[in-house]
Chain A
Amino acid sequence: MKLWTETLIVLLILTNLKLISSSRLSACIRIVAVQGILLGVVPLLAGQNPLTWRIASLAGLTMILKGMVFPWLLLKAMRSANVRREMEPFVGYSASLIVAAGLLGFSIWMGRQLPMPFAVASPLITPMAVFTIMIGLFAVISRRKAVTQVLGYLVMENGIYAFGLSFAQQEPFLIELGTLLDVFMAVFVMGITIFHINREFNHIDADRLNALRG
């Protein structure tokens, strides 16, 4: 059991690393899809209690939404905007990896600062969640294309969700449903906005949206 949980955590961390070091947008989207599927497995493994209808449906819903629907929406936005690569990010790919290593260290440190008040499946879950959140934030900050920024937002949301799924199991089903729905709507609205940005500007470089200031 511990082996499986740890493998899952490592795989999640690896998806983050891959995301931060890939330039092809379709590859990035696929990685986030994989991450979504892995995330769906988290509640199945992390929960000490036996598999209930609630957990099973939550896992299924997560996989469908985060593993399939979101990537599909983003792929559509990407195709409509006709971009393939993230050119010249603010932070290069090798540098991003080094930053990621630093962030990983920070996440572990943070995980040790906040010990869980109860027994958990693996002490690495908190660092993994924090790391995923950090990588998401980092992607939002360091990338130019709107699609990559949305991916960053999604990854960040994934990290938060991973944390919630593994610890806060008393969260009522309704709330988790609402959370998923909100994120879904957010991605949907962002996708539409990307479509409009591409139509109005003929590019989706979010850093070139700089008419408004002062």
Chain B
Amino acid sequence: MILLLILLPVLAGVISFFIRPGWMLRSILLATAGFHALLTGGTWLRQPASVLEEWLFLDAPGRLFLSITSLLFLVTSVYALGYLMREDWGQRQDFEEGMLFTNARESVFVCCLLIFLGMMTLVTVSQHFGLLWVAVEATTLVSAPLIYFHRHVRSLEATWKYIMICSVGIALALLGNFFLAVAATTATGHDHVPLLVNSLVNGAANLSRPWLKAAFIFMLVGYGTKMGLAPLHTWLPDAHSESPSVISALLSGALLNCAFLAILRINQVCIAAGLAEYGKTLLLGFGLFSMLVAASFIVKQLDFKRLLAYSSVEHMGILSLAVGLGGDGVYAAMLHAINHSLTKAMLFLVAGNILAVYHSKSTTDIRGISSILPINGVLWIVGFLAITGSPPFGLFVSELLVLKAALDQGHVAIAMAYLGLLGIVFIGMAAIFCRMVQGYPAELPTFDTSQLVPNRTVATASRFFHESPLSVLPPIVLGMLVTLLGLFIPSPLQQTLIRAAATVSGQ
């Protein structure tokens, strides 16, 4: 069953590479996404057996992250259906610099997208640190062509930075892996100690402490690069702003979580070895610093996709902070990861809709979304409220729990800093989002104005922008899920959250 989860998207991806007709590719994408989601749903009913000498096993945190990934993939692939149908495959002008560019082939896009899903699945189920590394690096490589989907200079720049920074970062994580292997090798020589999470946790007392510490630092930095913790986040805003919105949604909602899971795994080993305090300090530091950097870039941000990307940095910081706090914080982190993924994906999808009509990413030029795109306008505001942690959305609950964890442990200073930064982010985002939604467009966005009646008004203009169901339904679904999670957490999910929190805190 686990193998099927991984191989299904990979095989479908390979097949779709050789297919040309667009409708076939799109149906493969949708069918695979649906089937993958069904299989993932099945794992909630029946625990799948471990495969390959327990290298692949779906434990509670793995299942949680796998479910987010699979769900997001299903929703975004529905959105991608509409996106790919709308896309103009010929040569066209770039709206920022006016250069001509084309898209990558649709089959390449679908192929990479599906293999991307397969690799993310592999990350969530691998219990072996080596395999985990291989999978994380593979996600970087298959997502690079996705970022370079619109073949113009800016996306190329973003792709280069993405590959270079992430590859170098993840190479450091590989070094961490080898350090871990040394830590696990006993003084008697080259004994066979498998780098499985479970066996390492069980034999944690025998691990060599200095080597384990070094391994933790390198893995934190390595996977932290991929997760977007400041100051290692520099690739993230570029990649998120230049890739198609579908991809941004997946990068932010699913990929960052996968890197987070990798950090959780090594943290788990560290806690078991009695190095909890050591890891805590580092995680708290990275977390607060990420929030600080993100907050300072969010205020007065000129590009709304970059704004969302920095918001991701902020939330990764919150996750790191929450895990660093320990105790209830770990549970909060699990819940927060889910909430953030759903909300951020929703926002990116809406951002894609706005971009498609306005042909601009500027936060200062765009006005009056609600007058032209009423549904998207509402979603944009809902998303903003949700992502900044306003009630009744899920993020309110999880952010409150993080605050509670900080206060419970007497970290008053951290709690104050946390609240202050959240406040700054709220104000910064509110200024930008409200401005974008309200008012009227100064001049109508660049589109075929000859279709308009000569005496055009904004009110009549809205008729020309059709908000197709495929573009608004996916964000609506995500928005509803976030709201639901804020009001009520279903008991199977609750149990899994608790078990996941227990697992990653080394119990």
Contacts and interface: CB of A to CB of B under 8 A. Distances in A.
Nearest to A201: B153
Contact of A178 (B134, B140, B190, B210): B134
B130 A171 contact: yes
A116 B189 CA distance: 10
Contacts, number: 136
Contact of B133 (A118, A179, A185): A179
A210 B156 CA distance: 11
A170 interface: yes
B462 interface: no
A73 B476 CA distance: 46
A88 interface: no
Interface in B128-146: 128, 130-131, 133-134, 137-138, 140-141, 144-145
A50 B134 CA distance: 28
B130 A178 contact: yes
Nearest to B99: A200
A196 B148 contact: yes
A117 B187 contact: yes
A206 B210 CA distance: 37
Contacts of B178: 160, 163-164, 167-168, 171
Contacts of A185: 138, 141
Contacts of B195: 171
Contacts of B160: 146, 193, 197, 206, 209
Interface in A115-133: 116-119, 133
Nearest to A172: B130
Given A167-B181, A172-B130, A160 B171 contact: yes
A170 B163 contact: no
A172 B154 CA distance: 41
B301 A175 contact: no
Nearest to B178: A164
In this complex, which of A133, A172, A186, A210 has the most chain B Cβ atoms within 10 angstroms of its Cβ? A186
Contact of A114 (B156, B186, B188, B214): B214
B168 A137 contact: yes
A186 B195 CA distance: 24
Interface string A160-184: 1001100111111011001101100
A117 B186 contact: yes
Using C-beta atoms within 8 Å of the partner chain, give the interface range for chain B. Answer: 35 or more
Given A117-B182, A178-B130, A186-B137, A214 B306 contact: yes
Interface string B285-306: 0000000000001000111001
Contacts of B182: 116-117, 167-168
B408 to A, nearest CB: 37
A137 B185 CA distance: 28
A40 B408 CA distance: 54
A94 B78 CA distance: 57
Contacts of A133: 175
B130 A117 contact: no
A170 B144 contact: no
Interface stretch (A17-25, A76-84, A95-103, A149-157): A149-157
Nearest to A208: B157
B192 interface: yes
Contact of B181 (A156, A171, A196, A206): A171
Interface in B144-172: 144-145, 148, 151-154, 156-161, 163-164, 167-168, 171
Contacts of A211: 153-154, 157
State the main secondary structure of chain B at its contact with A: helix
A209 B237 CA distance: 15
Contacts of A146: 160
A189 interface: yes
A9 interface: no
B174 interface: yes
A212 B156 CA distance: 11
A163 to B, nearest CB: 5
Nearest to A167: B182
Given A118-B187, A212-B241, A190 B130 contact: no
Contacts of A171: 130, 178, 181, 195
B43 interface: no
Given A118-B190, A214-B303, A160 B175 contact: yes
In this complex, which of B153, B186, B193 has the most chain A Cβ atoms within 10 angstroms of its Cβ? B153
Given A117-B208, A189-B141, A200-B156, A164 B181 contact: yes
The 7 closest A-B pairs by CB, nearest first: A175-B130, A168-B181, A178-B134, A209-B157, A164-B178, A182-B137, A212-B238
28 contacts: A114-B211, A119-B189, A137-B168, A140-B164, A156-B168, A160-B171, A163-B175, A164-B181, A170-B190, A170-B191, A174-B131, A178-B131, A179-B134, A186-B137, A189-B141, A193-B148, A193-B159, A193-B160, A196-B148, A196-B151, A197-B156, A200-B156, A206-B164, A211-B153, A212-B238, A212-B242, A214-B302, A214-B306
Given A209-B161, A210-B157, 17 more contacts: A117-B187, A117-B211, A118-B189, A140-B164, A153-B168, A167-B182, A170-B185, A178-B131, A181-B134, A182-B141, A189-B145, A193-B148, A196-B156, A201-B153, A211-B154, A212-B157, A214-B306
Interface of A: 49, 113-114, 116-119, 133, 137, 140, 146, 149, 153, 156-157, 160, 163-164, 167-172, 174-175, 178-179, 181-182, 185-186, 189-190, 193, 196-197, 200-201, 206, 209-212, 214
